[in-house]
Structure 1
Amino acid sequence: MKQTLPIAASLVLAALAAPALAQGDAENGKLLAYTCTGCHGIPGYKNAYPSYRVPKIGGQNYEYLVTALMAYKNNQRPHPTMRAQAESFTDQEIRDIATYLASLADGGAK
């Protein structure tokens, strides 16, 4: 006799087998990422101290953005300004920001 899984179990297994997709609200992420443009949206911008080029984040990989922001939020990446920004967001807001920024193709944080 052939055994079948209940529909709910099949859906759970299918969801687990599916590739990871951005799980945020891009529209909310766009609103939240507005302050990011103050540094990340300026071509050739360099931070005053320590002096280094501020990277463009638009079009960056979703998983990378989530990982980086969570690391700032959890004090695992040392940058006082980024830590302060990341600490102000919930985990869902970080996913929203990452979803929006990953959707950009031009490298800017617009």
Structure 2
Amino acid sequence: MMRPLSIAASLALLMVAATAIAQDPAPAAASPTPDSSPAALKGDPVRGKGLTYTCRGCHGITGYKNAYPSYHVPMIGGQSETYLRNALNEYRNGNRKHPTMQAQAQSFSEQDIADIAAYLSSLK
């Protein structure tokens, strides 16, 4: 008999699968341009909304504490776009430590992060 996955592991796997499906393949001949730096990326809030559906499972519940009982899950809707981009990049690069968030952020491209930040910062 197989053991069921923990909630955190299930969410991480779900997000990785969803992100892989949602990402557009880059053209083979594309070369980086000076405007493709993370700060220059323009986020698409419509695409960002689709990328955040699993985020709402923890971040959308008032007072929710996740699988790590001493960790209160913050509300992220309405945060500044810059803060959200920085936080996701810090989780992705390992500068912020939280296993679930690191797994989530590592699956995101720079464009994904820009889109997520554009959507979440637009919420009131």
Give TM-score, length-normalised by structure 2. Answer: 0.65
Q: Structure 1: which 4+ aligned runs deviate by more than 3 Å?
A: none
What stretches of structure 2 of length at least 5 have no aligned partner? 1-38
Alignment match of 2:92 (pick from 66, 69, 73): 73
The alignment of Structure 1 onto Structure 2 pairs a total of residues equal to 86
What stretches of structure 1 of length at least 5 have no aligned partner? 1-19, 106-110
Pairwise CA RMSD: 1.7
Asked whether the 8 Å contact 2:41–2:111 carries over to 1, the reply is no
Letter of the 1:91 counterpart: E
Percent of aligned pairs with the same amino acid:
63
Give TM-score, length-normalised by structure 1. Answer: 0.73
* Structure with more contact order per residue of length (Cα contacts < 8 Å, sep ≥ 6): 1
Confirm or deny that 1:56 pairs with 2:56.
Answer: no
Alignment match of 1:33 (pick from 39, 52, 59): 52
Alignment match of 2:120 (pick from 88, 101, 105): 101
